[in-house]
């Protein structure tokens, strides 16, 4: 019986500063990126990728399935958007001469006011307005959870900012500054709380040691359930909010 030859996995090799080992990532669009130290040979990298071809294909299929379930948003009337774990319909209204698109929650819907733009220009303006709506609500939720838990943890966070991180839900610097992804407003409040508590606990322990997780559990005894939701649905949240940019950052 003749063995079937498989095509080699295509990948992009990216520079890696300070890394001592090879790192491989399957991105949400199905592409593969590899980071490796300069001393690692191309032959070794190709072998490294080939050994993981089965896992890579599995991840690519997973992201393709997500794309089928959550196709790109068109920003049309009646389209469904996730907001704090609920599905809200978009209500789009065109107002001639409106200079700045506005977006708010009204009567259980996401109400979006735009001028008479069309096509790609409309999508960019609409996505920017909806993104800003999410950023505002993420900031409000973040502030509330920080107030709720900071005293109990005996910590004093530094600057807290809502940003457009592409791979992280949140991050905490050594100085105590916390950065939170604007997409959190798409998630159930309990999951948002877990992410905020996670970053606050890093002000006490900067790694993910047993001590860190014991602190998280002391604040949220059911954190594992919330973390499981994030691991299961997080990629879909990123995909649902992979919108055209209007050049504005939240």
CB-based contacts of 4-13 (< 8 A; 24+ apart in sequence):
6/53, 8/46, 8/49, 8/50, 9/49, 9/50, 9/53, 9/56, 11/49, 13/45
Could you write out the DSSP letters of every residue in 194-242?
A: HHHHHHHHTTT-SS-SHHHHHHHHHH-TTHHHHHHHHHHHHHHHHHHT-
Measured CA to CA in angstroms, residue 115 lies from 75, 93, 123, 188 at distances of 14, 8, 12, 32
Per-residue pLDDT band for 250 (boundaries 50, 70, 90) equals very low
Q: Please give the pLDDT value at position 117.
A: 67
Using one digit for the tens of pLDDT, what is the confidence trace for 175-196?
889 999 999 999 999 999 999 9
**Residue 195: closest CA among 177, 172, 164, 218:** 172
Q: Are strands 23-26 and 12-14 parallel, antiparallel or unpaired?
A: unpaired
Is 116 in contact with 96 (CB distance < 8 Å)?
A: yes
Domains of the chain (ranges plus CATH)? Answer: 12-69 (no CATH), 80-240 (3.30.2010.10)
> CA-to-CA distance for 102 and 27, rounded, in angstroms?
32
The residue to which tokens 């209204």 are assigned: 93
Q: Using a pLDDT cut of 90, give the percent of the chain over it.
A: 54
Question: 3 pLDDT exceeds 70?
Answer: no
Q: What is the mean pLDDT of residues 213-228?
A: 97
Q: Which residue has the higher pLDDT, 39 or 140?
A: 140
Helices (H) and strands (E) in the chain, counts: 6, 10
Q: Using a pLDDT cut of 70, give the percent of the chain over it.
A: 93
Is 93 in contact with 126 (CB distance < 8 Å)?
A: no
Q: State the pTM of this model.
A: 0.79
Q: b/e map of 102-126 (b: 16 or more CB within 10 Å)?
A: ebeeeeeebbbbbeeeeeeebbbbb
């Amino acid at each position: 019986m003749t063995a079937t030859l498989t095509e080699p996995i295509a990948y992009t090799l990216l520079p890696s500063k300070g890394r001592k080992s090879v790192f491989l990532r399957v991105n949400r669009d199905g592409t593969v990126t590899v980071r490796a130290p300069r001393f690692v040979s191309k032959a070794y990298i190709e072998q490294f990728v080939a050994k993981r071809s089965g896992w890579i294909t599995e991840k690519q299929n997973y992201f393709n399935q997500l794309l089928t379930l959550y196709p790109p948003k068109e920003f049309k009337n009646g389209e469904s958007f996730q907001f704090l774990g609920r599905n809200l319909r978009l209500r789009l209204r065109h107002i001639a001469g409106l200079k700045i698109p506005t977006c708010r929650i009204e009567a259980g819907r996401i109400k979006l006011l735009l001028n008479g733009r069309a096509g790609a220009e409309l999508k960019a303006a609409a996505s920017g307005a909806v993104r800003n709506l999410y950023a505002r609500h993420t900031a409000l939720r973040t502030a509330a959870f920080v107030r709720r838990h900071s005293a109990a943890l005996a910590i004093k966070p530094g600057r807290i900012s809502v940003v457009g991180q592409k791979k992280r839900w949140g991050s905490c610097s050594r100085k105590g500054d916390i950065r939170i992804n604007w997409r959190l407003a798409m998630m159930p409040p309990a999951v948002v709380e877990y992410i905020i508590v996670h970053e606050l606990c890093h002000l006490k322990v900067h790694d993910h040691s047993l001590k860190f997780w014991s602190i998280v559990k002391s604040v949220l005894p059911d954190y594992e359930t919330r973390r499981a939701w994030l691991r299961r649905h997080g990629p879909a949240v990123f995909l649902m909010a992979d919108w055209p940019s209007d050049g504005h950052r939240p």
